[in-house]
Amino acid sequence: MNQKSVDGATLEMLQVAKSQNIETVWDRWDKQQPQCGFGQLGVCCKICNMGPCRIDPFGGDLRQGACGADADTIVARNLVRMIAGGSAAHSDHGRDVVHTLHLAAEGQGGYAIKDPFKLRTLAAEFGIKTDGKSDADLARAVADFAGQMFGQQEGEIPFISRAPARRRELWRKLGIVPRGIDREIVEVMHRSTMGVDNDYKNILKQGMRAALADGWGGSMIATELQDVLFQSPKPIRSAVNLGVLRKDAVNIIVHGHEPVLSEMLVVASRDAELLAAAGRQGAAGINIAGICCTANEILMRHGIPVAGNFLQQELAVVTGAVDLMVVDVQCVMPSVNSLTGCYHTKLVTTSPKAKMPGVQHVAFEEARALDHAKEIVSLAVEAYSRRDPSKVHIPDGRSDMVAGFTTESVFQFLGGRFRGTYRPLNDAIIDGRLRGAVGIVGCNNPNVTHDSAHIALTRELLKHDVLIVTTGCAAIADAKCGLLRPEAAYEWAGAGLREICETVGIPPVLHVGACVDNSRILTTLIEIVSEGGLGDDFSKLPVAGSAPEWMSEKAIAIGFYFVASGVLTHFGTPHPVLGSPAVHEYITKEIEGQTGGRFLFEADPMKAAAQIIAHLDQKRADLKLAPAMYTPVESRQAQAATVGA
């Protein structure tokens, strides 16, 4: 492994960690080398106790597990179990939001309906009568309706009806319309247990069904209901990177995924009594900053700064300036437990689903949310009094950004305040000022130089007049190097994209939220198709998706719901499928004939960009659109390199 990161603040903190003999994820990852080849290729099976079994990828004698399962079956089973894990994570998050909406309807926990307009829009979509009903009544009805999508047994989950007619027909023909969210995840686990489904295509078909239940079910519910509860994001300025931590204030890091608690922490951090308590300890204030997708959630709605992305969670603690880290679910490294022990940092777990041995657990019950949030903030104030100034090292690195874009807000931006429309966006694609749009999403992984692939791919696509939408840790990576500032249009965008950004006043990279908000990318695609002029299905559009530095099972679930929705989806490192040439061939080629989407595995971001651009151009040609209006000017990028980070 050559360089660990392209982010200066990260490299600086890695030096600090080294000087203190602190191990990080990179060190532990190094110790794991070489990693197990059978696992990497997906040909290790341990789903029954006759195993573990493995297949010789080089065609030796080991062609079948003890039961007779071959590489195709084993690889497909392992892959769909990853989809199930990812879909379960997003969907269980969605379920908790439904629960919170119920509480808001009952006036409990300090929650309220902050976006009654969206509540009414959703209620109407669900066929709930809205006239004369109070927000509380509607919240109850909407929560009931959304909640039943999880346990639904037959038919189609309701959000499927949002998809274009042609897409729905195709899904029906393929037999992959989700019947109920939980049901599809359970069926993946059933079909992939010992001695059930041995037809890799049939296994993957169910995988797609579970992935669609995530994108068009659990994740979409999470996004929509969070908007209702916590209000729909609007473009908002904020700052990013470890430099947002403050020497003079109580620093609380919120880490994980669910905004249900962090929203209340934001409220508690502004509580007069707690601020006074912080003042008595000599602190100038209470500073909340986020890591991972909790960060994205409260950034989008409150402009709360982001301390970093996935691979920076340990380094935040190493600054010695984090007084308390509060975690809920997903992407929280177990290492933060022992690590916080080396500093004054107080670690608090909050979800009954995610505890750590020896760590204080504040059982977060939504019904008493504000009380719990205040308790956590006072623990942070108390920890601040134990902070050792000689151990504090906060890097300077921080960048400004604009976040908070949604399907609806882009709509308003483009069409003007009173008549929102996607017409200008579609027209820009049709006349070739925009070549197309690409969603760059997903994680960090020590197997890729931290942030490097996100940034390189984004810059290269911008140069070719491709509008970028981004979520998750990819968004944080791009934000750190200034790509989420409107000025980035001058520094990196091609002439056509720059024109649009100038006119509309937006950055060339639009931050649309957390990982569950990849559902916003689906709803944006719906708007583009229904606006007209670019074909009647997602698969016709000059668009693509990418997860250049993925690590989580959730990324696999997201990838599959995009591919099943007809979108070319790039992953930097391949899924663990190379042990089955058949599965690899199927998901990277053959599947396109069925869903219109396919996977592209390419580690080099420049090569990936070239293939994505070729794909966008092909889609343009298929639609009989003129070629992109401008050719990228190489010298502009060289010029910009002196400006950009």
Tell me which residues touch ligand XCC (CB under 6 A).
292-293, 310, 331, 442-443, 472-473, 514-515, 552, 554
* 3-state secondary structure (DSSP) of residue 413: helix
Nearest-angstrom CA–CA distance, 532 and 550: 33
What separation in angstroms does the CA of 41 have from each of 90, 427, 620? 26, 44, 35
| Shortest Å distance, C-beta 46 to ligand SF4 | 5
- Give the angle subtended at the CA of 427 by the CAs of 421 and 432, to the nearest 5°: 150
User: Residue 473 binds which entry of ligand SF4, ligand XCC, none, with Cβ cut-offs from 5 to 8 Å by kind?
Assistant: ligand XCC
51 scored as a contact of ligand SF4 (CB under 6 A): yes
What is residue 588's DSSP assignment? I
Pick between residue 74 and residue 293 the one whose CB is nearest to ligand XCC.
Answer: 293
Select from 42, 65, 178, 256 the one that contacts ligand SF4 (CB under 6 A): 65
| Shortest Å distance, C-beta 606 to ligand XCC | 22
Select from 15, 18, 37, 46 the one that contacts ligand SF4 (CB under 6 A): 46
| Residue 287 · residue 252 · CB < 8 Å | yes
Nearest-angstrom CA–CA distance, 492 and 544: 20
Q: Which residues have CB under 8 Å from 489's CB, separation 6+?
A: 497, 498, 501, 502, 507, 508
| Shortest Å distance, C-beta 599 to ligand XCC | 18
Single-letter code of the amino acid located at 621:
A
Single-letter code of the amino acid located at 42:
G
| Shortest Å distance, C-beta 194 to ligand SF4 | 4
Nearest-angstrom CA–CA distance, 469 and 410: 11
Pick between residue 551 and residue 625 the one whose CB is nearest to ligand XCC.
Answer: 551
User: Residue 47 binds which entry of ligand SF4, ligand XCC, none, with Cβ cut-offs from 5 to 8 Å by kind?
Assistant: ligand SF4
* 3-state secondary structure (DSSP) of residue 253: strand
User: Residue 359 binds which entry of ligand SF4, ligand XCC, none, with Cβ cut-offs from 5 to 8 Å by kind?
Assistant: none
Select from 22, 41, 43, 45 the one that contacts ligand SF4 (CB under 6 A): 45
Nearest-angstrom CA–CA distance, 74 and 552: 20
| Shortest Å distance, C-beta 593 to ligand SF4 | 30
* 3-state secondary structure (DSSP) of residue 545: strand
The residue with tokens 């639609």 is 623
Residue 52 host element (H or E): none
| Shortest Å distance, C-beta 446 to ligand XCC | 12
* 3-state secondary structure (DSSP) of residue 87: helix
* 3-state secondary structure (DSSP) of residue 26: helix
Half-sphere exposure in the Cβ direction for 404 (13 Å, CA): 22
| Shortest Å distance, C-beta 350 to ligand XCC | 17
46: tokens are 């341990």
Select from 50, 124, 614, 626 the one that contacts ligand SF4 (CB under 6 A): 50
Number of residues that bind ligand SF4 (CB under 6 A): 14
Residue 162 host element (H or E): none
Pick between residue 332 and residue 578 the one whose CB is nearest to ligand SF4.
Answer: 578
> Torsion over CA of 234, 475, 501 and 496, rounded to 10 degrees?
-150
| Shortest Å distance, C-beta 443 to ligand XCC | 3
Nearest-angstrom CA–CA distance, 505 and 557: 34
Pick between residue 197 and residue 263 the one whose CB is nearest to ligand XCC.
Answer: 263
| Shortest Å distance, C-beta 47 to ligand SF4 | 5
Nearest-angstrom CA–CA distance, 246 and 244: 6
449: tokens are 């130089």
Pick between residue 64 and residue 108 the one whose CB is nearest to ligand SF4.
Answer: 64
| Shortest Å distance, C-beta 63 to ligand SF4 | 11
Q: List the interface residues with ligand SF4, window 138-197 (CB under 6 A).
A: 194
C-alpha of 430 from chain center: 29
Pick between residue 98 and residue 332 the one whose CB is nearest to ligand XCC.
Answer: 332
Nearest-angstrom CA–CA distance, 111 and 101: 8
Nearest-angstrom CA–CA distance, 144 and 126: 11
Tell me phi and psi for residue 307, to 5 degrees: -80, -30
User: Residue 42 binds which entry of ligand SF4, ligand XCC, none, with Cβ cut-offs from 5 to 8 Å by kind?
Assistant: none
233: tokens are 């994001």
Tell me which stretch binds ligand SF4 (CB under 6 A): 65-73, 85-93, 146-154, 222-230: 65-73
Pick between residue 118 and residue 450 the one whose CB is nearest to ligand XCC.
Answer: 450
Nearest-angstrom CA–CA distance, 620 and 76: 33
66 scored as a contact of ligand SF4 (CB under 6 A): yes
User: Residue 333 binds which entry of ligand SF4, ligand XCC, none, with Cβ cut-offs from 5 to 8 Å by kind?
Assistant: none
Tell me which stretch binds ligand SF4 (CB under 6 A): 47-55, 95-103, 456-464, 483-491: 47-55
User: Residue 46 binds which entry of ligand XCC, ligand SF4, none, with Cβ cut-offs from 5 to 8 Å by kind?
Assistant: ligand SF4
User: Residue 167 binds which entry of ligand XCC, ligand SF4, none, with Cβ cut-offs from 5 to 8 Å by kind?
Assistant: none
Pick between residue 63 and residue 270 the one whose CB is nearest to ligand SF4.
Answer: 63
Tell me which stretch binds ligand SF4 (CB under 6 A): 12-20, 40-48, 96-104, 599-607: 40-48
441: tokens are 């999403």
Q: Which residues have CB under 8 Å from 624's CB, separation 6+?
A: none
67 scored as a contact of ligand SF4 (CB under 6 A): yes
User: Residue 194 binds which entry of ligand XCC, ligand SF4, none, with Cβ cut-offs from 5 to 8 Å by kind?
Assistant: ligand SF4
Tell me which stretch binds ligand SF4 (CB under 6 A): 19-27, 59-67, 212-220, 531-539: 59-67
Beta-strand (E) ranges in 309-345?
Answer: 324-327
Nearest-angstrom CA–CA distance, 594 and 583: 15
Tell me which stretch binds ligand SF4 (CB under 6 A): 62-70, 105-113, 282-290, 396-404: 62-70
420 scored as a contact of ligand SF4 (CB under 6 A): no
User: Residue 55 binds which entry of ligand SF4, ligand XCC, none, with Cβ cut-offs from 5 to 8 Å by kind?
Assistant: none
User: Residue 472 binds which entry of ligand XCC, ligand SF4, none, with Cβ cut-offs from 5 to 8 Å by kind?
Assistant: ligand XCC
Which residues bind to ligand SF4, rule: CB under 6 A? 45-48, 50-53, 65-67, 69, 74, 194
